[in-house]
Amino acid sequence: MQRGFRVEVDFLATFALLNLRIASAEIPNRVQQPVYVTSQKQESDPSVPKAVVSRLSLYLRELQQLLRVGRKTISSSKLGSRLGVTDAQVRKDFAYFGQFGYPGIGYRCEELVGEIRQILGTDQTWPAALIGCGNLGQALLGYRGFGSQGFQVKLAFDISPKIVGQSFEGLVVDHLDRMPELVREKEIRLAILAVPAKAANEAVECLIQAGITGILNFAPVTLTLPKSVSVVGVDLAMELEQLAFAVAQQTNSSK
């Protein structure tokens, strides 16, 4: 049976990619030491492909599910088959960071969860700011997956008089003018940008002034940023285009 094409938008993976980029930027040049001991890990490498980081988040989610049902260990082949990748790909992905398997055992689920969370930077709580509290912003505030993986939206901003001062999910929306002050006060480095394209540049200028170093961009526009700021874009229309292409290809191949 042929496996279907899967398009998946994983907000946690995009946040994880931002974390890895920020962590990598803070690691000074160093000589990489070889790994001799099974399960010993290397420091994050800024050259790690984005696709690998995205799969790390998928591995993490799958391992956490296995732990919830009482599973203690899993092989690379079984982990890969659950996610539609080969066992060789699983081992190659983990090899960017070290060697985590045990001969005759495979991977210890709980241990590997801890290792992946440390690699992604989600072994700590990351406060974030949300810019734009319209329909999309409010939906993101209600997304429970952020909190379960170590991300907490601590501040929310907008410029609309109808929205500023309102409370969503227990968070009172402040005016965008207050963002630099409040972001510095709470030492926030990650931001979610959920504003219309025409408002993106003004919001980004405020984010840079506030010291934000990672932006998850939902605005349908390409951002021009200094090298010190990392950005990951989430374009829902583009994801639907990819899905439409996949469905069209499957339809054509079945004719």
pLDDT at 33: 30
What are 232's strand-pairing partners? Answer: 216
Checking if the pLDDT of 86 tops 90, the result is yes
What one-character DSSP code corresponds to residue 28?
P
Rg of the Cα atoms in the chain: 20
pLDDT at 18: 58
Q: What is the pLDDT of residues 197-242, one digit of tens each?
A: 999 988 999 999 899 999 999 998 888 888 889 888 888 888 888 8
pLDDT at 156: 97
pLDDT at 249: 85
Q: What is the mean pLDDT of residues 239-246?
A: 86
Q: Which residues of 162-179 are buried (b: 16+ CB within 10 A; e: fewer)?
A: ebbeeebeeeebbebeeb
Burial class (CB in 10 A: 0-12, 13-18, 19+), 226: exposed
Choose the weakest-confidence range: 20-24, 85-89, 180-184: 20-24
Q: What is the pLDDT of residues 22-61, one digit of tens each?
A: 555 544 433 333 222 333 444 445 578 888 988 999 999 9
Q: What is the mean pLDDT of residues 78-91?
A: 95
Q: What is the mean pLDDT of residues 98-119?
A: 93
Domains of the chain plus CATH, in order, are: 11-120 (1.10.10.10), 126-238 (3.40.50.720)
Q: What is the mean pLDDT of residues 129-157?
A: 91
Q: What is the mean pLDDT of residues 162-186?
A: 95
pLDDT at 146: 85
pLDDT category at 21 given cuts 50, 70, 90 is: low
